[in-house]
Structures are given as C-alpha cells and as structure tokens.
Amino acid sequence: LERPETAPSRIARLRAKLAASSNPFGKALFNILAKDHLSETDWEDVEDTLLLADVGAEASAQLVDELRTDSRITGTSDPAQVREALRVKLLDLVGTGMDRRLNAVKEGANRPSVIIMVGVNGTGKTTTAGKLARLFVADDKSVMLGAADTFRAAAADQLQTWGAKVGVPVVRADKDGADPASVAFEAAAKAKEQDADVLIIDTAGRLQNKANLMDELGKIRRVTEKNLPVDEVLLVLDATTGQNGMAQAKVFAEAIGITGVVLTKLDGSAKGGIVVSVQKELGVPVKLVGLGEGPDDLAPFDPEGFVDGILA
C-alpha cells in the first residue's frame, strides 16, 4: 500500500494543477480587463463571462452593476482597478468567512464520526468517498466505509476497490438489492464496535423518483442514528453540470439535509462559479473540491486560490 501524500505536497500539486487547467473564463476576463478603457460592450462582456463561468444570472448582473456604478462614481474605468474590485467582490461572494472544516475534525466531534455522501449517480460520490477516506488515513485516523448503494451491484464493488486502494475496510450487503438502510445500520454498529474514528457511508443517487429518494435517504439517516449521530451529510456535485447542479442540490437538501458540498471535476472545467450559487441558495459551504480521479485528488476548497484561478 502506497503511503498517502502529505497535505502540503498535495495542496501545492493540486494548486498547480488547477492553475494549469484550461480556464477560458479567466482568459476572457483577462482580455477584457487588459484594455485601456472599458466601454459599455466590455461591461456586457464581463457579465457574459461571469455567466459562462456559472456564477448565476442574478449574481453576475449584480456584480457588474456594482462595479460599473463604482467606476462611474470614482470616474475611472481603469481595467486594473476594476480587476482588483472584481477580485474583492468575488471573494466576498465566495464567502471567505465560512467555516469549511469537516465536522468530523472539529473539537468535540463525535467518535466515530459519521459522514453520509449523497448526490446524483455519476457525480463522483463513490470516488470522493474513497478519496475522503484517504485524507483521514493520512491524518492517522481509523476509517470505515459503508456501501449503502445496494441498487447497483457495481457500486459496492467500486467502493470495495477504493477501500483496498486506501487501506480501509468496507461494510457491504451480502446480496444485491438489500435494504440500503440495513447496510448503514450494520456499518454504524461495526464502526462503533471497532471504535473507528470515522465512518463514511456511500448512498445511491437515483433522481427519477424524488419520493423514493427522499424515503431512502431519510431512512438511511434515521437507522444510522440508532447507533451513531450523523455529523455530516456531504452533497457531491459535478462542477461540469453547472447551474443544473442547483436543481439537484435542492432535492437532496430537502430529502436529507446537507452540511456541506464537494464540488468534483473542477480539473476538467472552468465552471466553478456554481460555488457562489450553492452557498448563497443553500446556505452551506463548499468544503472540498475534486481535482482528478486519483486517490490524492481531493483538497479543501480554498476561496482565495479559487478567485485567483478565475482571474488568472
């Protein structure tokens, strides 16, 4: 078993990766803001660029209105100044003040801490559960994974592969189609019995039937809580789906309640602007970002690095 990468090395590597990823959004803004003077069309282009980056219609319009008003008041449309003003406003929107720590690592956290992963299939839920287990292992925590996505047989196999990769035991059903809540119950019982530090439960994310999804997730939560309190419900959102992710997010927030978001596939997308909408509309922070398919490609969300990336 390969040793997990150290946190500073991982963060430096992932930052470099993010900076090197294609960012048409940053380039477009750079081109506009490199001009001597901003015309009306340039302002519209700034707004369109923010929209393209999924910052959301309302927030984009508001940002540009404020910047334009400021520049009228001060009588300057010097792109360098506008750029700095935009940086400050984006930082404000991205919410630098939000507490993004995982509840499992906070002072006085329950032990074993329970994290439930939710999200639509294909967003990267199972992969993120594996990577998250790895982060805790790197921190010398004992971790257990629970495969409560019993709908697809392949899902438990995939989680088991991740468990083997990161050196963490996986609790799964004996047979396909078992009750997901019973797996969650058993995983919580085992985590308690074996005195684990963290239990991460992977769930199914079929959105076709909202009532079913709500029933299933609600039951997983209630049944888990018979053994252990749930500290965290992390919603996994795929950054490349942009604003469509918001509709999904609302369904899950309603179904089970969420304490944070993991934004995956940021390595393949310049569309990170959804961070703004998620936090504003759901009132929960983006806590982690996925920057690739490998076991060490998960990092804490860094608002400053993120905004600098947008403006790069």
Q: What are the binding residues for GTP? A: 119-126, 202-206, 264-267
Name the residue nearer to ligand GDP (CB basis): 41 or 208: 208
Instruction: Using CB under 6 A, list all residues that contact ligand GDP.
Output: 119, 121-127, 264-265, 267-268, 290-293, 297
User: Which residue in this structure is represented by tokens 């939000």?
Assistant: 98
Binding residues: 119-126, 202-206, 264-267
**Between residues 113 and 203, which has the closer beta carbon with respect to ligand GDP?**
203
* CA dihedral angle for residue 288, residue 293, residue 296, residue 297, rounded to 10 degrees: -40
Distance in Å, CB of 167 to ligand GDP, minimum: 19
Smallest gap from Cβ 162 to ligand GDP, in A, equals 9
Q: Nearer to ligand GDP by C-beta: 89 or 125? A: 125
Is the Cβ of residue 103 or residue 264 nearer to ligand GDP in the bound state?
264
User: Within 13 Å of residue 31, how many CA atoms lie on the same side as its CB?
Assistant: 7
Give the nearest distance from C-beta 125 to ligand GDP in angstroms.
Answer: 3
CA 87 to chain centre: 22
Cα–Cα distance list, 40 to 47, 67, 83, 254, 278 (Å): 11, 12, 16, 41, 30
We find the least distance from the C-beta atom of residue 235 to ligand GDP, in angstroms, to be: 11
Q: How far apart are CA 259 and CA 234, in angstroms?
A: 6
d(CA 304, CA 94): 9
Q: What is the DSSP letter of 3?
A: P
